[in-house]
């Protein structure tokens, strides 16, 4: 068993309004390039939290420009044990209304051209992703959000689109037929990479709009999305406080902590040294012992 260290990927405003004890902002270098921003780490109710604004400071990065690999790599280097992602989403279901929270449990990935793995030439590995989120952390996050008075949907399929444009009406209706419940632009490849880094991942998403599938609905507008987000940012902050209060005192191991145990295809003695060196955080359990041979 070990102590919890929650990595939070979301907007920078989520941790500025309440007291983050022993807060420090740190620039952490990644072997995969520049992360979105420095991390801010500190304690909430005695639990270590490390925050990383996904879109950078002042929201300067579009979804396609985010270095998802560097972000996950940096959190791993910080010693994070679990990752809670916070994001805005559009709803593809009547019952998931603006202002509601959805704890996502499945994904359909429609992104294009984003680096979606830490592995590749020199070291090949395949992790399982049938169940892409951590049910334990998802449950704790749902409970915490519900404690604040939020309307919470436990489960939902998230379709990740490339963006930065919103969907056409035809696309929005097609995604509904596919079985998607919500839509966004950032959860993939974030969730994929978290699994490769052996980090349990949960996504607590805030519904801001009904996308564009409704016959009598208006088109999605950024101003409306930002208005809903602003109304709920304090609830998101309070959710983090409630999460810190309700986590068990010690963290039991998760099966996701060992997601790489049977993932490697390339024999270790044939690993490319430069490729292995970049994995000194993501796959430290394997790379560091190999370096001492």
Active site positions, annotated: 209, 211
Q: Are strands 101-104 and 152-154 parallel, antiparallel or unpaired?
A: parallel
Token pair, residue 98, equals 């603006």
Query: Which residues, listed in sequence order, are joined to residue 50 by a DSSP beta bridge?
Result: 7, 41
DSSP one-letter string for 100-140: -EEEE-EEEEE--S----S-BTTB-B----SS-S-HHHHHH
Q: Helices 135-147 and 222-246: crossing angle, nearest 10°?
A: 100
How far from 176 is each of 15, 111, 199, CA to CA, in Å?
A: 34, 17, 30
Spatial distance between the Cα atoms of 236 and 179, rounded to a whole number of angstroms? 27
């Amino acid at each position: 068993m070990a102590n919890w260290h929650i990595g939070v990927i979301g907007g920078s405003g989520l941790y500025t309004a309440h007291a983050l004890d022993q807060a420090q902002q740190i620039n952490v270098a990644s072997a995969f390039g520049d992360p979105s921003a420095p991390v801010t780490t500190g304690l909430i109710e005695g639990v270590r939290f490390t925050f990383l604004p996904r879109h950078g400071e002042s929201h300067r990065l579009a979804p396609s420009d985010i270095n998802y690999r560097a972000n996950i790599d940096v959190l791993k280097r910080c010693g994070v044990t679990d990752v809670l992602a916070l994001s805005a989403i559009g709803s593809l279901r009547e019952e998931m209304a603006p202002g509601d929270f959805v704890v996502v449990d499945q994904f359909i990935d429609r992104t294009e051209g984003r680096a979606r793995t830490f592995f590749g030439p020199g070291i090949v590995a395949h992790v399982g992703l049938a169940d892409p989120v951590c049910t334990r952390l998802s449950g704790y996050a749902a409970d915490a959000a519900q404690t604040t008075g939020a309307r919470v949907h436990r489960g939902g399929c998230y379709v990740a689109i490339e963006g930065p444009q919103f969907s056409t009406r035809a696309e929005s209706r097609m995604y509904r037929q596919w079985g998607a419940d919500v839509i966004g632009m950032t959860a993939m490849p974030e969730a994929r990479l978290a699994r490769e880094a052996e980090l349990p991942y949960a996504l607590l998403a805030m519904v801001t709009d009904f996308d564009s599938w409704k016959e009598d609905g208006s088109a999605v507008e950024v101003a409306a999305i930002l208005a809903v987000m602003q109304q709920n940012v304090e609830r998101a902050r309070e959710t983090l406080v409630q999460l810190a209060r309700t986590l068990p005192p010690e963290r039991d191991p998760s099966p996701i902590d060992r997601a790489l145990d049977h993932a490697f295809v390339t024999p270790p003695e044939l690993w490319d040294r430069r490729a292995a060196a970049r994995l000194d955080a993501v796959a430290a359990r394997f790379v560091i012992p190999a370096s001492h041979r």
